Structure 1
Amino acid sequence: MKDQFRVTAIVSTYKSERFLRGCLDDLLSQTIGDDLEIIVVNSGSPQGEDEIVRREYLPFHDTIRYVRTEERETIYQAWNRGIRSARGRFITNANTDDRLRKDAYERLADHLDRHPDVGAVFADQYTSYVQNEVFTEHRGGSVRRRPSFDRLLFLSRYYLGSQPMWRSEVHSQHGIYYSERYAVAGDYEFFLRLAEHYPIEKVHDILGLYYLDPGGNNMEYQNAQRTAGETEEVRTAAIHRWVDALTPQQVRLFLHRMQRYQRIPELMHYGIFNMALSLGIPTLMLPRGFVCYVGSVLAEKAGDMALAIRFCSGAAHSRNADVLSKRKQLLLSRGTV
């Protein structure tokens, strides 16, 4: 077996026997060929993944490595396990139910090779509602179009999709791994921290299929409350890290930008933002609640506590209204206004 690869794809499997053959066949058909290392991490699954990998793939493909744990691990524990043994210059996660265009990894890796300062890349995907549908046979699904990477926009929401690729040096040089305290928002937390060290760029092409289970069994939809709570937690921490790193001049610049957003009437703001999302139009418009929270943190950093408190009252109809209300009470309790 080779000692080094161009790309390592990490496959975590738990109760995904019905997807595993299709996933591995899809990866083996990638145009980068034997320059792709595939690490399968079986997190104690009670289904037949072990026999599938050991009998049907390991004897015939020396680019596949296999690990099985006795106890069930979270997906982020499994990905970290794969990352620590990866030998690729670039790393990606390969969800068992998603599929790729045959040259997807080649396109993503080429971009990273051409731009050595870039830490991670992503692309658009089609939505598939059919189990094990391959890219060449896809029909009729919508395109999950994503805007180009913008640091502030990414602080407001995760939009890299399920098939990003990043440099292995992210782990070796900066010690960034997936936080194992999260069940669903670990992707977001990982790339928020990566973005503090590297630019992230979009490859402007449709390179994959994202399987959206009609029964709502995708992980992020199984427990909406937990997803929302974890997302808010990692976003809030990242916002404060970002603001803390700004110079006074940058604070004034971004604070002015948040004030311009807040001048848009609240319901009009929601209408424009939601229309863009419903039409599948990539929008650089920031969500109202996010604008008000970031504006409040920036104003506090600038020493204008009265403005920081006013921002907290600017998104009464937002999903973040409770978060803003708690922040307002915190600011008032400090007795600085």
Structure 2
Amino acid sequence: MRPDTDTPRVSVLMAVYNNAAYLPAAIESILGQSFADFEFLIVDDGSTDGSGAIIDGYAARDPRIRAIHQNNRGFIASLNHMLGEARGELIGRMDGDDRCTPDRIERQIAFLDAHPDYGVVGTQTCYFDDTGREWPMARAYPLDDAAFRVALATPYTPLMNHASVLMRAELVAQVGGYRPQFRYCEDLDLWLRLSRVTKLANLPDALTYYRQHPGQVSDRNLAVQTAWAAMAWISDEQRKAGERDTLGAIDPLPGLDGLGAVDAITGRPGDSQRVRASVIERIEYPTSALAGPGFRVLIDYIGAGGRLPKGWHMVARLVQARRWRHAARLATALLRETM
């Protein structure tokens, strides 16, 4: 955190890459906050759709905005860049295609001021789409630290909306910020590390709105995101056991075609199959995911001796979807393992 004699209470961080269609609404929802003592850092990460000009236009009208332009470096590098520039004692997050209620930051600050033992607070979230339709989450985020830790120990249980959080800057710095190798699951990896030094919670009300639109990263990269999330949990297990965090020490992490190396990296037999099993659990439905990049993980899992109780059901779904080649390959792998 950069020292300054005129430090704002909050630094809001927004990384932008080609969000021009949604960016004005996102920026205005922060500028319209009832709590005004903040700086608003916005990184234009090499956008090609005019996002940079939109950011500059708002920065010219509101001195709280600090525009940062750079060649495309990626989401995590952009966040760490802003962490290095941030002056506030509290770090807020916002995404360039979302929006939030005017009292969001005010209510989060009130919570942190009233609970000094908590270092991170998020909010519940509503989903919305380009048609204006809104709908609530199917399952609420955990409200207090005890519930958060139960959820954290249960893979793929909703924890918090990354773009909704307000965090104590000194704690984020203490755990080292975002780790670039945990791409697509950088928030989970951060929550795991922060949970070792502070308490985490979510407010009970939906103060942020998460836009659903085609082509989101979480949709396009589900299999690799799941693999690296599983590695984040293994990394956390190593730290809790007092072992060397071997996965946290390498960059990049193994990709979908290299998951067999996880055992050698961690020195713990079975970790490779654990990661593969996590991917299979997530890609099982729908068929488009089953026949996507994670299909190789499925075949490797069976080849390494993994049991697949629903294997023939998967074959049937692939046949119904006319994914003949995938169905034949999976059937062959299943038959080979029974011989």
| TM-score (ref. length: structure 2) | 0.67
The runs of 4+ residues in structure 1 deviating greater than 3 Å are 320-328
Change (3 A) 1:58 1:8: same
Residue number among 19, 23, 30 corresponding to 2:22 in the alignment: 19
Query: Counterpart of 2:17 in structure 1: which amino acid?
Result: Y
Query: Which SS does the other structure have where 1:30 is aligned?
Result: coil
**1:4 matches 2:41:** no
**1:166 matches 2:160:** no
**1:66 matches 2:60:** no
Query: Counterpart of 1:61 in structure 2: which amino acid?
Result: D
Deviates more, 1:37-46 or 1:2-11: 2-11
**1:85 matches 2:85:** yes
Which residue number in structure 1 is paired with residue 135 of structure 2? Answer: 141
Post-superposition offset of 1:326: 7.3
Query: Counterpart of 1:106 in structure 2: which amino acid?
Result: E
Distance 2:38 2:303 in 1: 49
After superposition, the C-alpha distances for 1:170-190 in whole angstroms (9 at most, x for unaligned) are 134x14210112320111101
- Aligned pairs for 1:123-202 (under 5 A) are 123-130=123-130, 140-143=134-137, 145-148=140-143, 149-155=147-153, 156-157=155-156, 159-162=159-162, 163-172=164-173, 174-202=174-202
Query: Counterpart of 1:38 in structure 2: which amino acid?
Result: F
Residue number among 220, 223, 235 corresponding to 2:221 in the alignment: 223
What are structure 2's unaligned runs of at least 5 residues?
244-269, 283-297, 307-339
Q: Tell me, yes or no, if the aligned pair for 2:148 and 2:159 is still in contact at 8 Å.
A: no
Which residue number in structure 1 is paired with residue 281 of structure 2? Answer: 319
Query: Which SS does the other structure have where 1:190 is aligned?
Result: helix
Q: Tell me, yes or no, if the aligned pair for 2:172 and 2:194 is still in contact at 8 Å.
A: no
After superposition, the C-alpha distances for 1:301-325 in whole angstroms (9 at most, x for unaligned) are xxxxxxx9xxx9xx99x82998899
Post-superposition offset of 1:53: 2.1
Query: Which SS does the other structure have where 1:319 is aligned?
Result: helix
Which residue number in structure 1 is paired with residue 265 of structure 2? Answer: none
Post-superposition offset of 1:115: 1.0
Post-superposition offset of 1:4: 1.3
Post-superposition offset of 1:2: 7.7
Which residue number in structure 1 is paired with residue 246 of structure 2? Answer: none
Distance 1:326 1:179 in 2: 30
Query: Which SS does the other structure have where 2:24 is aligned?
Result: helix
Q: What percent identity do the matched residue pairs reach?
A: 21
Query: Counterpart of 2:28 in structure 1: which amino acid?
Result: D
Q: Tell me, yes or no, if the aligned pair for 1:97 and 1:211 is still in contact at 8 Å.
A: yes
Post-superposition offset of 1:327: 11
Which residue number in structure 2 is paired with residue 104 of structure 1? Answer: 104
Work out the number of aligned pairs and report it.
Answer: 252
Change (3 A) 1:21 1:212: same
Distance 2:19 2:79 in 1: 16
Query: Counterpart of 2:122 in structure 1: which amino acid?
Result: F
Q: Tell me, yes or no, if the aligned pair for 1:8 and 1:39 is still in contact at 8 Å.
A: yes
Deviates more, 1:7-16 or 1:234-243: 234-243
Distance 2:9 2:303 in 1: 49
Distance 2:206 2:181 in 1: 32
Change (3 A) 1:319 1:47: same
Query: Counterpart of 1:169 in structure 2: which amino acid?
Result: E
Q: Tell me, yes or no, if the aligned pair for 2:79 and 2:178 is still in contact at 8 Å.
A: yes
Pairwise CA RMSD: 3.2
Query: Counterpart of 2:229 in structure 1: which amino acid?
Result: T
Post-superposition offset of 1:201: 1.7
Query: Which SS does the other structure have where 1:177 is aligned?
Result: coil
Distance 1:164 1:239 in 2: 24
Change (3 A) 1:39 1:153: same
Post-superposition offset of 1:78: 0.3
Q: Tell me, yes or no, if the aligned pair for 1:4 and 1:88 is still in contact at 8 Å.
A: yes
Post-superposition offset of 1:98: 1.1
After superposition, the C-alpha distances for 1:267-320 in whole angstroms (9 at most, x for unaligned) are xxxxxxxxxxxxxxxxxxxxxxxxxxxxxxxxxxxxxxxxx9xxx9xx99x829
After superposition, the C-alpha distances for 1:159-179 in whole angstroms (9 at most, x for unaligned) are 21131111001134x142101
What are structure 1's unaligned runs of at least 5 residues?
134-138, 246-307, 329-337
